[in-house]
Amino acid sequence: SSSGLAAAYGVAVSTTMVITTWLAYHVAREKWGWGLFPALAVTVAFLVVDFSFFGANLFRFFAGGWIPLAVGAVVYIIMTTWMKGRVLLAKRLKDKLMTLEDFLDHVRREKPVRVPGTAVFMSADSKDISPILPHHLKLNGSLHEQVVILTVVIEDSPDVTFSERLTVQGHEEGVLQVVVHYGFMQDPDVPSAVRRLQKDYPKIDAEGATYYVGGEVLIPTREQPGMLLWREKAYALMVRNAARPFKFFRLPLNRVIEINIHVEI
């Protein structure tokens, strides 16, 4: 009904006003450098007005005002589940991470078979290597002659110039550690970055490179400390339905190998 729609609209708008004022307080303190008392004074002045509208609209809660609050609560639960899940997953994967120095020591010690070609291993962290690299070496007992450990970093600026796109650090055993920088308004294109890398490192085969990306198969369990079991199951469902990284990075589908790791959360 029109009255129910008006109630829902009133609660939604007044709640948005309260949330916006509260967020503005944090921006003033953390981004603009305001002192505590000036930020509180302005915030309280706005909250007095905001809460007067919010309180008046709460009387229409059962007439339809509960709908935007229910929708907001669901969205909040989804967003916080995703954020807490990412933190939880990072903690679980931290035990599986290996430093580049440890990996190079392992290669020198074990001397695996080196096969012709170039392998590009996507890594989320530029400090540690992705667990898929040692996992691949353990399963296959071999390593490509040219190994590129590549991390994509999205900067706070909208654009990153072409000359500042790549940061390259060469290592022994044919290993390159590469960080590719993009602005938040730019679309990452990893194959293009590898082609540019080939100009400085001719041994890299950009056109025939194989791209290795990692994935996680999440196993919700009560045995590990973390979120409530139903939230862990919800997070696992969201991860399964998330966009695959090879699409985001524009990787050629016929040269992508995805290695999944089972992780209990």
Residues composing the chain: 265
Total count of domains within the chain: 2
Contacts of residue 112, Cβ cutoff 8 Å, sequence gap at least 6: 137, 141, 142, 143
Give yes or no: residues 64 and 47 share one domain: yes
Instruction: Please report the pLDDT score of residue 5 as a whole number.
Output: 84
Q: Which domain holds residue 15?
A: 2-93
Do residues 143 and 111 touch, judged by C-beta distance below 8 A? Answer: no
Split the chain (265 residues) into runs of 10 and give each run's mean pLDDT.
82 93 94 92 94 89 87 94 90 80 87 91 83 86 91 90 86 88 92 91 91 87 84 91 84 89 82
What pLDDT score does 236 carry?
A: 92
At residue 71, the pLDDT reads 92
Do 56 and 154 share a domain, yes or no? no
Rg (CA), the chain: 25
- Cα distance between residue 107 and residue 134, in whole Å: 10
Please give the model's pTM, rounded to 2 decimal places. 0.74
Q: Which of 93, 111, 131 is the last residue in one of the domains?
A: 93
pLDDT of residue 262: 83
Contact 25, 43 (CB under 8 A): yes
Asked if 161 and 254 sit in the same domain, the reply is yes
For position 247, which CATH number holds?
3.40.50
